[in-house]
């Protein structure tokens, strides 16, 4: 076991980083540890945010919250639920799929830019992050952004820190925007479409002025794993509508009429809708207790099914689609096939693939994050050095 | 006005002017370099007209490769570069300096691809904001960020400043609607960040390039998100007896969980100016006006409006006026969007852009009035109230240097008030030169040092737009 540091204050965290800088001890930053499957590299010590917890300020009328990075996500969500507010980006909980334990933290959510089904209309975690306090690799406490929705004062460092997977700094406090919980929700299910037909149906649905807030395609191989088997036979293309009850009713009818030409249409109530989209968000069908390689692939919406079709000719894969087809959850039967997958991602127009799960030795030997083109990699390395000149913070996202 | 300083021109560059012009003429096709002093005048300032500097030359490249060639040259010889879109910056973001080559993107104004299935448009950086929406509107789509200057301003400039607009309350600002860019780094390297996928791998460099005020590189192409146009949209006017009541109403509407597409605020001077210009049918017997726009199906608009009207009644709303036709709706928006232009017809003005937390709106409005009164000036307030982004227009006489100095001082006091109220110096116009020297009021030295370090990771010699954003003192040695 490598040492684990749990500073109880921002100042203590800063001192700890200063000491580590003097001794050149690499630090692996950890929130709840729910995504740390690859483990901590040899010689590195763990810097945990567990001791930096608690909601600092919650102002429902301004729809913003400030919380320390180690605050458990469930604490944040419980406070929001009391005021019928929510995180717009629906952060996913991948513990089931990754077979990990630990408590997801709000800092970890932003560090991973973890964003669920509503991302394609409401933005990612990075779009909700208004401000951040952090300790950089020099052990300095720095603030960026603020607590207002519109702010272009100086460089938007909060965006850089979102999704930086601990490569740049230890986030100690985050301020983020909120949205009201919609009054109700419903799901329109189109049954029996193949992946290409589903892509066309989803493109049609999101082009309509009915404000679809979730668009996923669940092929027959995974359909039965959702909503307790409540989805009709055949592949399910699912479209979520949210808002005021009267409005959802009207939009449901409109969408149902438009989708009828693609296949048989059924409708799910608010409760089943809630369960279904949580399961899509958390990648429920691949919470299968196996170490079979699990990829999260982001491509253009209409490219998702092309990618999977191409891969099927050369590897054993199972897949389902979120974000109108642009987010592909891929489970490989045996080898992760990283090179093959990334070649096809490029061939269908580009994007990126992240390996989230595999046997430890496979994870260690694979580029879990998408390797960047040379010029971008060099630029990213310079940006990392601007936060962390000694390369103290170990993370696989920047070389 | 001359209170804001510029960097001293580099003698080594000025003395080589003739040679630099000759070299750039070689690098660019005919008609793509402006260098005669008389022809440089249109480029000496932007919409922050109080300050002007003639640049050394203006390059108007036609391709990304030409932008790269110019930057590579300037990098090699240590020549500062000032990127320019349409020159509509209100913060002086595009004002050149004597030793700089302006790189204008006006000749790169083609829409390269519209992809409805993926809801993206890929455009060259010199395309105007409105041209994107115009190109896709027949198919039922639009590009959401809508700065008031959208007829003229370019997407490249929007990315530089992370521009907003009235409808950002629902759809977000530029950074939330930008999927990818082609970016030329100062050494001439061309990189692509993002693309048609919703997110990109690696560090979110796109997130910091957007709003980088042309200091991180020059964007030559962009891929933006298109949004399906709502079934219907309706602006409604709410008139109040006091600005405070209107401000409090805004905070309560947002707090209630209703999020309209836009909530715009105008005080009496702004109402009078805009009504005289646009004949929009604004009520004239109120002290403050809110334009609240809701959208969606008829049922949805009705339901939202009912909720908003109920809240407005609690704040003693005096007039509620719904637009009865598309023409009326267009007039209501025409009045609002012409506010800056209409104000310019009656006086010189400087436009502030601070953002404050919604709960602080009434307090900051009162404070703004007191500050302006203290300096013996007049103010018209017209702004995006839903997200707390204030635009006090301070009226003054530009021919009177003392009046101008007072206006600048009053503006600075107002921005300090915004920061002290928990807000920020600029919500959508950018820091430019205008707010550069106030940055230390919002940020500690260590905060600014971190931003400058990131900036230097992109441009180690500080050649790109060097007089902007960061206070001139305390910069790292190049």
Amino acid B2: pLDDT: 65
pTM of the model: 0.96
Assess whether A380 and A342 both reside in one domain.
Answer: no
CA distance B89 to chain A (A): 13
User: Are the beta carbons of B161 and B83 closer than 8 angstroms?
Assistant: no
Q: Kindly state whether residues A22 and A171 are assigned to the same domain.
A: yes
Give which of A150, A167, A258, A321 to mutate to test B binding, by max B Cβ within 10 Å: A150
The answer to whether B416 touches B450, Cβ cutoff 8 Å, is no
Residue B369 pLDDT level (bands cut at 50, 70, 90): very high
Percent of chain A exceeding pLDDT 90 equals 91
Query: What mean pLDDT do residues B154-172 have?
Result: 94
- CA of A6 vs chain B CAs: smallest distance (Å): 24
Cα–Cα distance, B286 to B371 (Å, whole number): 23
Q: Indicate if A256 and A274 belong to the same structural domain.
A: yes
Q: Cα A247 to chain center, whole Å?
A: 29
A38 CB within 8 Å of a chain B CB: no
Which residues on adjacent β-strands are paired with residue B81? B101, B464
Is ipTM strictly over 0.90? yes
Predicted confidence (pLDDT) at residue B161 exceeds the cutoff of 60: yes
What pairing do the DSSP bridges indicate for beta strands A327-332 and A294-299? antiparallel
In A181-220, the residues whose Cβ lies within 8 Å of chain B are: 181, 199, 203, 206-211
The distance of B187 to chain A (nearest Cα, Å) reads 11
Please indicate, yes or no, whether residues A69 and A82 belong to a single structural domain of this protein. Answer: yes
As given in the structure block, the two tokens for residue B409 are 């001082």
Tell me if residue B71 falls in helix, strand or coil: helix
Task: Check whether residue A348 and residue A262 sit in a common domain.
Answer: no
* Distance separating alpha carbons of residues A87 and A180, to the nearest angstrom: 9
Backbone angles phi, psi at B461, to 5 degrees: -90, 5
Cα B103 to Cα B43, B79, B219: the distances in Å are: 10, 12, 11
Render A355-386 in DSSP notation, one character per residue.
EEE--HHHHHHS--SPPPPHHHHHHHHHHHHH
Torsion of CA B341, B60, B181, B83, to 10 degrees: -60
- Asked if residues B324 and B295 have their Cβ atoms less than 8 Å apart, the reply is no
- Would you state the pLDDT for residue B474? 80
Nearest CA in chain A to B387: A149
Over residues B345-358, mean pLDDT:
92
Distance CA B173, CA A88 (A): 16
Print burial letters for A190-217: b (CB count within 10 Å at least 16), e (below 16).
bbbbebebbbbbbbbbbbbbbbbbbbbb
Whether residues A96 and A5 share a domain: the answer is yes
A365 contact partners, CB below 8 Å, separation of at least 6: none
CATH code of domain B347-420:
3.30.70.2740
Q: Where are the domains of chain B?
A: 11-104, 115-228, 233-339, 347-420
Both tokens of A247, joined, read 């409005």
Question: Which of A117, A154, A374 is the mutation pick for testing B, counting most B CBs within 10 A?
Answer: A154
pLDDT digits (tens, 9 = 90+) for B292-309: 999 988 888 888 899 999
Best CATH choice for the domain B115-228 from the list 3.40.50.2300, 3.40.50.300, 1.10.357.10, 3.30.465.10:
3.30.465.10
Q: Are residues A233 and A207 in the same domain?
A: yes
Query: Is A278 an interface residue toward B (CB < 8 Å)?
Result: no
**Cβ pair A149:B254 closer than 8 A:** no
Beta bridge partners, B446, equal none
| Host domain of residue A246 | 184-281
My answer on whether A29 and A133 are in the same domain is yes
Residue B201 with chain A: CB contacts under 8 Å? 298, 351-354, 369-370, 372
Q: What is the mean pLDDT of residues A131-150?
A: 96
Fold annotation for B11-104? 3.30.43
The C-alpha atoms of residue B306 and residue B311 are separated, in whole angstroms, by 9
Residue B181: band (very low, low, confident or very high) from pLDDT cuts 50, 70, 90: very high
Of A231, A246, A281, which residue is a domain's last?
A281
Distance of alpha carbon B474 from alpha carbon B471, whole angstroms: 7
pLDDT at residue A38 in the model: 65
Report pLDDT digits (tens) over B18-59.
Answer: 999 999 999 999 999 999 999 999 999 999 988 999 999 999
pLDDT digits (tens, 9 = 90+) for A3-42: 899 999 999 999 999 999 999 999 999 998 887 666 778 8
Task: Provide the 10 A C-beta neighbour count for residue A179.
Answer: 17
Look at chain A and report how many structural domains it folds into: 3
Whole-number Cα distances in Å, B285 to A36, B245, B369: 63, 15, 20
What Å distances lie between residue B71 and B28, B67, B97, CA to CA? 12, 6, 16
Summary mean pLDDT of chain A = 95
Least confident of A241-245, A310-314, B432-436: A241-245
CATH class of B233-339: alpha beta
Fold matches, B233-339 and B347-420: yes
- 3-class secondary structure, A339: helix
Instruction: Select from A152, A210, A397 the Cβ nearest to the Cβ of B428.
Output: A152
Are residues A146 and A257 part of one domain?
Answer: no
Q: How far apart are CA B97 and CA B8, in angstroms?
A: 9
Nearest CA to B36 out of B51, B55, B12, B61 is that of: B55
CATH number of the structural domain spanning residue A19: 3.30.465.10
CATH of the domain at A225: 3.30.70.2190
Neighbours of B422 (CB within 10 A): 18
């Amino acid at each position: 076991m490598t040492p684990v540091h749990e500073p109880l204050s921002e100042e203590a965290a800063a001192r700890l980083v200063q000491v580590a800088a003097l001794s050149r001890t690499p630090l692996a930053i950890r929130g709840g540890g729910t995504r740390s499957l690859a483990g901590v590299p040899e010689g590195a010590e763990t810097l945990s945010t567990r001791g930096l917890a608690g909601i600092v300020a919650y102002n429902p009328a301004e729809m913003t919250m400030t919380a320390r990075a180690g605050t458990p996500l469930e604490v944040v969500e419980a406070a929001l639920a009391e005021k019928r507010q929510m995180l717009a980006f629906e952060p996913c909980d991948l513990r089931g799929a990754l077979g990990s334990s630990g408590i997801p933290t709000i800092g970890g959510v932003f560090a991973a830019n973890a964003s669920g089904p509503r991302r394609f209309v409401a933005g990612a975690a990075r779009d909700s992050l208004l401000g951040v306090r952090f300790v950089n690799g020099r052990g300095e406490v720095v603030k960026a952004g603020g607590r207002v929705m519109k702010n272009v004062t100086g460089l938007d460092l909060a965006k850089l820190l979102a999704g930086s997977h601990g490569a740049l700094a230890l986030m100690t406090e985050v301020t983020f925007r909120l949205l009201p919980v919609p009054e109700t929700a419903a799901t329109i299910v189109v049954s029996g479409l193949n992946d290409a037909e589903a892509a066309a149906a989803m493109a049609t649905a999101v082009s309509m002025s009915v404000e679809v807030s979730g668009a996923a395609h669940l092929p027959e191989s995974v359909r039965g794993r959702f909503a307790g088997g409540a989805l009709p036979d055949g592949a399910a293309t699912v479209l979520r509508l949210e808002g005021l009850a009267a409005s959802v009713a009207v939009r449901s009818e409109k969408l149902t009429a438009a989708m009828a030409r693609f296949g048989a249409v059924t409708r799910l109530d608010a409760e089943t809708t809630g369960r279904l989209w949580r399961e899509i968000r958390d990648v429920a069908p691949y919470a299968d207790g196996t170490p079979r390689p699990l990829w999260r692939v982001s491509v253009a919406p209409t490219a998702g099914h092309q990618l999977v079709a191409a891969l099927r000719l050369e590897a054993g894969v199972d897949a389902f689609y979120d974000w109108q087809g642009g987010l592909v959850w891929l489970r490989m039967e045996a080898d992760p096939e990283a090179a093959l997958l990334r070649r096809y991602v490029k061939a269908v127009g580009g994007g990126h693939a992240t390996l989230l799960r595999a046997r430890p030795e496979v994870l260690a030997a694979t580029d879990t994050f998408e390797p960047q083109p040379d010029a971008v990699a060099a630029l990213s390395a310079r940006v990392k050095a601007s936060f962390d000149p000694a390369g103290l913070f170990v993370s696989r996202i920047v070389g | 006005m001359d209170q804001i300083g510029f960097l001293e021109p580099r003698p080594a560059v000025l003395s080589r002017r003739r040679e630099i012009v000759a070299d750039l003429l070689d690098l660019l096709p005919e008609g793509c370099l402006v260098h005669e002093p008389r022809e440089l005048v249109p480029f000496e300032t932007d919409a922050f007209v109080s300050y002007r500097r003639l640049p050394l030359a203006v390059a108007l490249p036609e391709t990304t490769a030409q932008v790269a060639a110019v930057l590579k040259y300037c990098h090699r010889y240590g020549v500062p570069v000032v990127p320019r879109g349409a020159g509509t910056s209100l913060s002086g973001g595009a004002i050149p300096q004597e030793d700089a080559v302006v790189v204008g993107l006006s000749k790169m104004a083609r829409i390269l691809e519209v992809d409805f299935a993926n809801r993206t448009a890929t455009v060259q950086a010199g395309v105007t904001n409105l041209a994107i929406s115009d190109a896709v509107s027949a198919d039922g789509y639009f590009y959401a960020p809508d700065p008031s200057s959208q007829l003229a301003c370019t997407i490249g400039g929007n990315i530089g400043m992370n521009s907003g607009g009235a409808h950002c309350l629902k759809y977000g600002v530029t950074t939330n609607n930008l999927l990818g860019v082609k970016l030329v780094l100062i050494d001439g390297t061309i990189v692509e960040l993002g693309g048609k996928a919703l997110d990109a791998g690696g560090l979110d460099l796109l997130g910091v390039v957007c709003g980088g005020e042309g200091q991180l590189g020059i964007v030559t192409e962009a891929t933006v998100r298109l949004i399906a146009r709502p079934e219907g949209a309706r602006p409604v006017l709410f008139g109040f007896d006091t600005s405070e009541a209107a401000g409090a109403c805004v905070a309560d509407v947002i707090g209630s969980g209703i999020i309209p597409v836009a909530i715009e605020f105008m005080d009496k001077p702004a109402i009078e100016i805009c009504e005289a210009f646009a004949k929009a049918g604004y009520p004239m017997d109120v002290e403050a006006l809110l334009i609240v726009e809701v959208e969606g199906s008829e049922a949805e608009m009705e339901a939202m409006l009912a909720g908003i009207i109920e809240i407005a009644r609690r704040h003693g709303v005096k007039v509620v006026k719904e637009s009865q036709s598309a023409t009326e709706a267009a007039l209501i928006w025409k009045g609002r969007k012409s506010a800056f232009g209409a104000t310019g017809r009656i006086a010189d003005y400087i436009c502030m852009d601070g953002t404050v937390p919604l709960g602080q709106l009434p307090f900051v409005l009162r404070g703004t009035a007191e500050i302006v009164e203290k300096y013996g000036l007049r103010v018209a307030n017209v702004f995006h109230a839903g997200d707390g982004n204030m635009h006090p227009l301070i009226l003054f006489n530009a021919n009177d240097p003392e009046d101008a100095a007072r206006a600048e001082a009053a503006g600075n006091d107002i921005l300090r008030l915004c920061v002290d109220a928990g807000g920020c110096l600029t919500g959508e116009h950018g820091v430019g030169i205008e707010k550069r020297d106030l940055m230390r009021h919002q940020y500690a030295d260590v905060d600014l040092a971190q931003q400058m370090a990131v900036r230097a990771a992109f441009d180690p010699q500080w050649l790109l737009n060097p007089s902007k954003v960061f206070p001139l003192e305390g910069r790292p040695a190049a």
